[in-house]
Amino acid sequence: MNSPSASATATHNTPVEKSFSPLVRQFLDYLKLERHFSDYTVKSYGADLIQFGQFLSGTIGPNSAVAATQPAVTEQQLDEKQVKCEPLTIREFLAYLYAQNYTKSTTARKLATLRSFYKFLIRRGHVSVNPLSTIRTPKQEKRLPKCLELEQVQKLLDAPGDADILSARDKAMLEVLYSSGIRVSELVELDMADLDLQEGVLRVKGKGRKDRLTPIGSQAIKAIQRYFELRNSDSKSQGAHVNRVFLNKHGEPLSTRSVRRKLDKYLLMAGLDPGISPHTLRHSFATHLLNNGADLRSVQELLGHQSLSTTQIYTHLTTNRMKQVYDQAHPRANEPSIPHPATQQNQNPPQPYSKAV
């Protein structure tokens, strides 16, 4: 029987393909257990670090042909490469991403992953100098989020109907998303204990496990009540996951992917842009609140944003809306130039003065 130390050595000496090195595993455990990041976020960080590890080991990148003729890099060797990484290597990795036609936003996300990873290594004493300290994040194009008009929202919310349990569930989901502005990941995590339909409030488990209270409107409450009415007589909904609010047809918790598929179905039925995502309802929620006089700080709290600067993107949408209203309503908004008042009072040129003789 192998001793624990022999087993650990064997693990460290296994070749790296698409597995996590020990330091990366420690970092991902830290994100999940101490920072309380979502499973999806931890998975994304892990994917970025696997790619970076493949680049360091030569599996991908300009040195891949040479590396193919060499013995495979072990997990222990990969950790050594990560610890000894220099700024030049980071720049070479960025050049590789550019050559692979990655977008600026994706490259920025991968850089953010590496920054977090190396800050973690510095705190744990594995690294003394951060190789990303001199690396700048590529400047990204500012793209305004998509937003639905009120008439489009109404078409979408009316599309499911509520004749049966599944359509009633879908209508309730869409109503809650637009009424509260919560994320889809927050929607599918809702438990019965998180609902207070009497007060019209949801308790939302946000990013980093930070709970917040979010109000919902009367139409969303009505849709939820209709869904529960049908669900109470459905035997499949009375199983092990009975405490979860939104269930699939098998009585299991609904996934974020399922919500996207349902939205695609109703976009088609309503004749709306198929590029609309569940997050568009969140954007629409924020924009419509600001258009109707809500202050930015309140919208920030409702959305669960840590920083006000994240919420400020919606002010660009509302500014555009105000500009449109101004251009349509102000009498001089589209005048090529401002005429002098004297030219309006006297259109005829003055006659020369002649003195009587």
Q: Which residue has the higher pLDDT, 64 or 24?
A: 24
Catalytic residue among 110, 171, 183, 283: 183
Percent of the chain with pLDDT over 70: 76
Question: Quick check: is 207 catalytic?
Answer: yes
pLDDT in tens, 300-342: 878 877 666 666 666 665 555 556 655 666 665 666 555 555 5
Helix, strand, or coil (residue 214): strand
Cα dihedral: 11, 14, 16, 21 (round 10): 20
Q: What is the mean pLDDT of the segment spanning 238-248?
A: 90
Question: Quick check: is 305 catalytic?
Answer: yes
How far apart CA 265 and CA 159 sit, in angstroms, is: 9
CB 114 within 8 A of CB 52: yes
Percent of the chain with pLDDT over 90: 46
Catalytic residue among 12, 25, 305, 321: 305
How far apart CA 244 and CA 168 sit, in angstroms, is: 16
Catalytic residue among 35, 155, 203, 207: 207
Helix, strand, or coil (residue 211): strand
How far apart CA 257 and CA 260 sit, in angstroms, is: 5
The secondary structure of 249-268 as a DSSP string is: TTSSBPPHHHHHHHHHHHHH
Catalytic residue among 169, 282, 283, 288: 282
- Domain chopping of the chain, boundaries: 12-123, 150-280
* CATH of segment(s) 150-280: 1.10.443.10
Q: Has residue 3 got a pLDDT over 50? A: no
Q: Has residue 68 got a pLDDT over 60? A: yes
The burial of 299, by beta-carbon neighbours within 10 Å (0-12 exposed, 13-18 middle, 19 or more buried), is given as: buried
How far apart CA 53 and CA 18 sit, in angstroms, is: 9
pLDDT in tens, 89-111: 999 999 999 999 998 889 999 99
Q: Has residue 197 got a pLDDT over 90? A: yes
Q: From residue 294, how far is each of 37, 145, 286, 300, 302 by CA, in Å?
A: 30, 19, 9, 10, 11
Residue 153 pLDDT:
93
Q: Which residue has the higher pLDDT, 307 or 193?
A: 193
Which residues does 329 contact at the CB level (< 8 Å), separation at least 6? none
How far apart CA 122 and CA 210 sit, in angstroms, is: 26
Question: Quick check: is 279 catalytic?
Answer: yes
Angle between helices 278-291 and 256-270 (to 10 degrees): 70
How far apart CA 56 and CA 48 sit, in angstroms, is: 13
Q: What is the pTM of this model?
A: 0.61
3-state helix, strand, coil in the chain (%, to 5): 55, 5, 40
Question: Quick check: is 326 catalytic?
Answer: no
CB atoms inside a 10 Å sphere around CB 265: 13
Question: Quick check: is 183 catalytic?
Answer: yes
